């Protein structure tokens, strides 16, 4: 079991890496912070991944290390999803936008790309735009 999430305001994998680097400096962990705590966290923890949707396409994932329930200054509890630092390129699959995060079963998750299969995502997006696909 995995999670899938829109990378809001992110246009490419490099930007996602930059944003996470800034958050790492603030929290000393690679985190994604969300309001809701996944009920299936025990299934996801240590074996699942966060699949990121960038520009309408699932294109990268990160292993989920842990989930922490943390009380913020506003008095509310939030879920800190602790992620591995490595971004793993996956098959690029179109996905409709949604709010929050969703569960993604292993059998529906895009496969990882081997290094020889990697293409420049920026070039791919540009080519798709030229073909009027996105």
Please give the residue range of the domain that contains residue 40: 2-130
Q: Where are the alpha helices (DSSP H) in 13-92?
A: 13-27, 41-44
- The model's pTM: 0.81
Q: How many CB atoms lie within 10 A of CB 17?
A: 13
User: What is residue 104's predicted lDDT score, i.e. its pLDDT?
Assistant: 95
Give 39-64 pLDDT, tens digit per residue. Answer: 999 999 889 999 999 999 999 999 99
Number of domains into which the chain is organized:
1
| CA distance linking residue 85 with residue 16, whole number of Å | 11
């Amino acid at each position: 079991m995995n999670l899938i999430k829109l990378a809001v305001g992110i246009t490419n994998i490099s930007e996602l890496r930059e944003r996470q680097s800034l958050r790492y400096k603030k929290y000393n962990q690679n985190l994604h912070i969300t309001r809701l705590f996944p009920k299936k966290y025990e299934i996801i923890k240590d074996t699942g991944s966060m699949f990121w949707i960038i520009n309408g396409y699932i294109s990268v994932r990160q292993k989920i290390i842990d989930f922490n329930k943390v009380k913020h200054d506003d008095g509310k509890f939030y879920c800190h999803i602790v992620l591995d630092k490595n971004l793993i390129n996956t098959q690029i699959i179109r996905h409709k936008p949604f709010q929050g995060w969703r569960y993604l079963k292993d059998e529906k998750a895009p496969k990882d790309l081997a290094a020889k299969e990697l293409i420049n995502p920026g070039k791919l997006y540009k080519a798709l735009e030229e073909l009027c696909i996105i």
